[in-house]
Structure 1
Amino acid sequence: MEYLGYLASIVIGLSLGLIGGGGSILTIPILVYLFKVNPELATSYSLFIVGITSITGSFSHYKMGNLQLKSALVFAIPSIVSILIIREVIFPQIANTLFTIASYTVSKNLLIMIVFSVLMILASISMIKKRPEKDSFTETNFTQLAIIGFVVGIVTGFLGAGGGFLIIPALLFFANLPMKQAVGTSLLIISINSIIGFAGDVYIGTPIDYKFLITISIMAFIGMLIGTQLSKKIDGSKLKPLFGWFVLVMGIYIIVKELFF
């Protein structure tokens, strides 16, 4: 299962490099089901893996001229605030056992996986659904961009997911960016959010296996390089629906497995 996990880790980077999102959606299931990492710890590991991989991808997109720094910062700053509130204040206060119904116990780890699977299903719908063409406006709505940034930070903080499926539509419709620039800018935002979230976890004493993390990150890094190069030749938006169907099946599988097995 570990070898399968390392192979699957390449797909994390491949997805991030090619379509600017989706990689973090795969990271938690890979860590939990293939490497048997505790779900709560997996959210911390996911932040590191996705953050490091996204930094590499955003640098590659910067060299290709696909980064809009101002839009990225307007989005990322409120995201950072909500991430730190969730991970350093709210998350540690959630009890390991939430409640019991008859003989069925709802734990913190179960809550993480169920909420994450719902996120996967929502993300898959976003990927599958064909986006309407953008209006002809050229002005960036920085207020709405910042609000969405705060919301994405909540998702990232609770689940360790980068939120690329939310970031890219925001950049397309509120920052008025072309698809390739939205992908590159999304990677920069994801890297900022994820690394700061992980740094916060280290600060509060979360136990980290750095050797394991670096190994997974190297595999994801290889996938990122491949995905970034492929993005020059392949339109990632055309591959997104196919990836969306895969994420949908995975989300349903997690719900069934966690609730009934």
Structure 2
Amino acid sequence: MSAVIAAAGVGLLVGVVVGTLGAGGGILSLPTLVYVLGQDPHAAATASLVIVGATSVVSLVPHARRGNVLWRPGLVFGLLGVAGAVGGARLAALVDGDLLMVLLAALLLVVSAVMLRRSLADRGRADDGVPAPPSSSRLTTAVLTVAVASLVGLLTGFFGVGGGFVVVPALLLVMRVDIRRAVGTSLLVIAVSAALGLAGRIGQDHAVDWPVVAAFAVTSMLGGLVAGRFSARAKPRTLSLLFALLLLAVAVVTGLQAVPALLAG
């Protein structure tokens, strides 16, 4: 019962993060399920996909009502990652759990560094949420979009996360979408990617604690639905900076837990 209560409390926090930033659910839920609730990393990855997928669908509603969801690009982006999602899920089964968490921490450090650099570089610019004019050709943008979508699918299947920590920067930097539309559209991409990642895990024998997952998911969905309104009032650069700092914090905490465990094993 204590695990269910703890999962509900953390789920509320995850939902707030997802609803506000359009990402972060998987990178919070996965370490929490492993290091706070004591689940096996592989089982936690499967549970994380259920939680993040459900939360993203609910959090999508307030963003869609404000017109901040690009439906066609979002669906295309998500579906382009189908091969990566299935392949990543199969590959994850071959990797040690502690190594899986170390790799996640390393990835988050890289992405947070890129986002922090961009946020700080934008400090002197007008904070109106309008992206800079495209500097690349349509062909280059299309190739980059396919490559990033495939990468998101791979990361989703491999780590059991929604891939929002890659989708938001990708929409900002590759597709030149403003931060509010990046947040809203990323929720659609995450939902599609989570469904594909779960499909890739069919047949894998992982003991998922479903009461804990259910408590986590329900409160996460509630938090996401409420917090979706906050992003409409926040400054775009503030959202970008918060997102980068969140990634950095989770990377450090996960690394401090995972690296000693891997070395001890």
Report the TM-score, using the length of structure 1 for normalisation: 0.84
SS in 2 for 1:25: helix
The amino acid across from 1:51 in the alignment is G
Q: Are the aligned partners of 2:112 and 2:244 in contact in 1 as well (CA < 8 Å)?
A: yes
Where in structure 2 are the equivalents of 1:175-254 lying within 5 Å? 175-235=175-235, 237-242=237-242, 244-254=244-254
Residue ranges of structure 2 left out of the alignment (5+ in a row): 126-130
Which residue does the alignment assign to 2:97? 109
Which residue does the alignment assign to 1:46? 48
Which residue does the alignment assign to 2:134? 137
SS in 2 for 1:136: coil
Deviation at 1:26, TM superposition (A): 0.7
The answer as to 2:146 corresponding to 1:146 is: yes
Deviation at 1:239, TM superposition (A): 4.2
Q: Are the aligned partners of 1:128 and 1:242 in contact in 2 as well (CA < 8 Å)?
A: no
Deviation at 1:143, TM superposition (A): 2.7
1:63-84 per-position Cα deviation (integer Å, ceiling 9, x unaligned): 2211112211331122121010
The amino acid across from 1:10 in the alignment is L
Deviation at 1:136, TM superposition (A): 1.9
The amino acid across from 1:135 in the alignment is A
Q: Are the aligned partners of 1:52 and 1:195 in contact in 2 as well (CA < 8 Å)?
A: no
Over 3 Å counting, the alpha-carbon distance change for 1:248 and 1:178 in structure 2 is closer
Q: Are the aligned partners of 2:179 and 2:239 in contact in 1 as well (CA < 8 Å)?
A: no
Q: Are the aligned partners of 2:7 and 2:215 in contact in 1 as well (CA < 8 Å)?
A: no
CA distance in 2, matches of 1:232, 1:6: 26
1:37-74 per-position Cα deviation (integer Å, ceiling 9, x unaligned): 10111111111101110011123322221111221133
Instruction: Determine which of 78, 81, 84 is the counterpart of 2:83.
Output: 81
Over 3 Å counting, the alpha-carbon distance change for 1:59 and 1:226 in structure 2 is closer
CA distance in 1, matches of 2:174, 2:108: 23
1:184-232 per-position Cα deviation (integer Å, ceiling 9, x unaligned): 1100000110122113323445443333222110111121012102122
The answer as to 2:37 corresponding to 1:35 is: yes
Deviation at 1:236, TM superposition (A): 5.6
CA distance in 1, matches of 2:243, 2:6: 19
SS in 2 for 1:65: coil
The answer as to 2:16 corresponding to 1:14 is: yes
Q: Are the aligned partners of 1:19 and 1:236 in contact in 2 as well (CA < 8 Å)?
A: no
Which residue does the alignment assign to 1:157? 157
CA distance in 1, matches of 2:149, 2:78: 6
The CA RMSD over aligned residues, in Å, is 2.4
Which residue does the alignment assign to 1:170? 170
1:236-256 per-position Cα deviation (integer Å, ceiling 9, x unaligned): 640443453354233223323
Deviation at 1:113, TM superposition (A): 1.2
CA distance in 1, matches of 2:231, 2:257: 34
Over 3 Å counting, the alpha-carbon distance change for 1:18 and 1:170 in structure 2 is same
Aligned pair count?
247
Residue ranges of structure 1 left out of the alignment (5+ in a row): 96-107
